Amino acid sequence: MAGTGRESGATENAGFGDLSDSEFPDFSELGDIEELGSQPGSSSGNPRKEVDPEGPWKRKREADALTPMERFHLRCLWISDLATQSWCEQQMVYGKELPDFQSAEKAAVLSAGASIHLARELELHDLVNIHTSTKEDVWAVKLLNILCMIPILQSGGTIREFPVFGEVEGVFLVGVIDELHYTSKGELELAELKTRKRPMMPLEAQKEKDRFQVSLYKCIFDAMVRGQVTSASLVHHMKLSPELLLGPQVQSHARQGGFTAKSFGDLLELTFLSLTLSDLPVIDSLKIEYSHQETDTVLGTEMVVFEEKQVRDKLRHQLKYWTGLREPQGVDVKEAWKCRMCDYAAICEWRQSGGTKTLTQEQHAKKMTK
């Protein structure tokens, strides 16, 4: 499959990075974990008591008038970010606002996980580095990967790192599925790999985050093969120009794959035709495999029951934050134990206030420069 060797700055927020979006830390491994019944802050009682999630946020919105998507200059949301948001929304926001705060330990877990994913990808195919200079080129490479993988899946083969994208509730979501294969019963199965630093299965809260992630993949993949994702939606949300000519290396890579495409629009048409005419099935089952980073041994697997209503309800709630309809929230009292392993615990206003306040971005910036 092809990756991008794009010029820096050319395609900011274009949609996909070069790594699988599975490469996010397993927070439950990053500290001593006890599912304590204590609250986030030092005060007693329910930290969320008397919280009006709409009130203060409405006032802040009047002041800065930008939605988080606008403030972070996002044209789309990563499914992995939504999974992280389901762990602690406030932590995910800090991660965007203060990326340098990430601990070295967390960065090491990420790096090791990324290496294992790359090794697995290389088991199935070689990686080709393609120079790209526009965001259309970057997306073209993703579309070429999809075009190459569709026939493999149609013929019953296994594919890895399949890009997915589509609009849900007016927001464009993107992600990369680790693996798709058929079971012995002929059912299409999504397999998600999660690597762990410690040789033990994760806590229930971590599993819940992972279940949400794979369920979102299924929602979007199914919509793609049912023809419910349109090229117009991709072009609109990602602000792409179909008439733009593809770069020479991208055109050459397309030719080598047997595709004739000069402009980005040519490739869009080919991809969406291929997706809708290929008769690919929807995903039948969702499996998460947990493996130990150091020894690459499987610690266990989880079969996920797809509960569409719950997944969509949760997603709608999360998107309300991104579209500026509500304030970000930290963890609930029963999950206060998560704060013990959080990089942002020392500055977290939600935690310090017992779960009733959050800082504006400007307040964070002031705090960090003191």
Q: What letter represents residue 35's amino acid?
A: E
Shortest distance, CB of residue 341 to ligand SF4, whole angstroms? 8
β-bridge mates for residue 128, sequence order: 2
Residue with tokens 């195919």: 125
Structure tokens at 282: 């929807």
Contacts of 209 (CB under 8 A, 6+ apart): 83, 84, 86, 87
For tokens 């992630």, the residue is: 213
Q: Which is nearer to ligand SF4, 48 or 253 (CB)?
A: 48
CA distance 161 to 288: 15
In the complex with ligand SF4, which residue's Cβ is closer, 229 or 331? 331
Min separation Cβ 353 and ligand SF4, Å: 10
Residue showing tokens 């395609």: 11
- Residue whose C-beta lies closest to ligand SF4: 330
Q: How far is the CB of 28 from ligand SF4 (least distance, A)?
A: 12
Rg from Cα positions in the chain: 21
Structure token pair of residue 71: 């403030």
Nearer of residues 287 and 340 to ligand SF4, judged by Cβ: 340
Q: Give the shortest CB-244-to-ligand SF4 separation in angstroms.
A: 41
Judged by beta carbon, residue 15 or residue 47, the one nearer ligand SF4 is 47
Nearer to ligand SF4, 38 or 263 (CB): 38
Q: Least distance to ligand SF4 from the beta carbon of 355, Å? A: 7
Closer to ligand SF4 at the Cβ: 158 or 353?
353
Which SS3 state, helix, strand or coil, does residue 9 take?
coil
Amino acid at 183: T
Nearer to ligand SF4, 25 or 330 (CB): 330
Closest CA to 250 of 147, 120, 126, 122: 147
- Identify residue 349 by its one-letter amino acid code: E
Report the nearest approach of ligand SF4 to the CB of residue 87 (Å).
8
Q: How far apart are CA 119 and CA 254, in angstroms?
A: 25
Q: Which is nearer to ligand SF4, 172 or 337 (CB)?
A: 337
The gap from C-alpha 179 to its chain's centroid, in whole angstroms, comes to 15
CB of 46 to ligand SF4, least distance (A): 14
The least CB distance from residue 360 to ligand SF4, in Å, is 15
Contact 156, 257 (CB under 8 A): no
Residue numbers of the site for ligand SF4 (CB under 6 A)?
40, 88, 90-91, 94, 330-331, 338-339, 342, 344-345, 348, 350-351
- What ranges make up the beta strands (E) of the chain? 2-4, 77-78, 128-130, 159-168, 171-182, 188-196, 285-292, 298-304
Q: Identify the H or E element spanning 154.
A: helix 135-154
Say if CB 221 and CB 164 are below 8 A apart. yes
